[in-house]
Amino acid sequence: MKPRIIPALAAAAVALAAAAALAQQDSATMPEDGHAVATFAGGCFWCMEPPFDELEGVLSTISGYTGGSTVDPTYQEVSAGGTGHAEVVQVTYDPAKVTYEQLLDVFWPNIDPLDAGGQFCDRGDSYRTGIFVHGEEQRRLAEESKQALTDSRRFAQPIVTEIVDAGPFYPAEDYHQDYYQTNPVRYKFYRWNCGRDQRLTELWGDAPTH
């Protein structure tokens, strides 16, 4: 006879797992050796790695998931919806060589900040845009950057990109990492077929594309 799992104990186990994941995340995003972490959502995470990788002072980019409630979700779970996570890229950088403001300057022209339903051909909440801030200083700078874009009156529509506190981050499966380098032909076809660069040019003019 199988032992019964007491609901309260099961709930406690889930809470402990979530707390452990959060603690792991806090440890992972603490500056180390003068390094710092930034987290951005801009639709397909494959497409958000290249523009940051090209920036001097960026040490690494990792595709992954954040913003949801499921602990250690899979790509299938996130893309199916229901976990609350967004596809994101987590950027580790050296603040002595590149500032958070410069990261924001790279972020905006690589997204469609007017689209609340996803990005380009990728639809759904997991492809939403967002700035996941690590601390009050990042929040202040992100909000100032968003307000400056609004004040510029570049767009008639409102900026829908959210600025929220960073939570637990879960790296995506290995085959997603550096996809633009490991599968360049498929990456370029996906990017073109999705209409990403066409829309970015429409929004930003001669914005850099990757």
Catalytic residues: 44
CA distance 18 to 27: 14
Structure tokens at 210: 């990757």
CA distance 91 to 103: 9
Direct distance between the N- and C-terminal alpha carbons of the chain, in angstroms, rounded to an integer: 58
User: Which residues, in sequence order, are bridge partners of residue 38?
Assistant: 91
CA distance 23 to 111: 30
CA distance 114 to 106: 17
Strand 129-133 versus strand 162-165 pairing type: parallel
Query: What are the DSSP calls for 70-124, one per residue?
Result: SSS--HHHHHHSSS--EEEEEEEE-TTTS-HHHHHHHHGGGS-TT-SSEETTEES
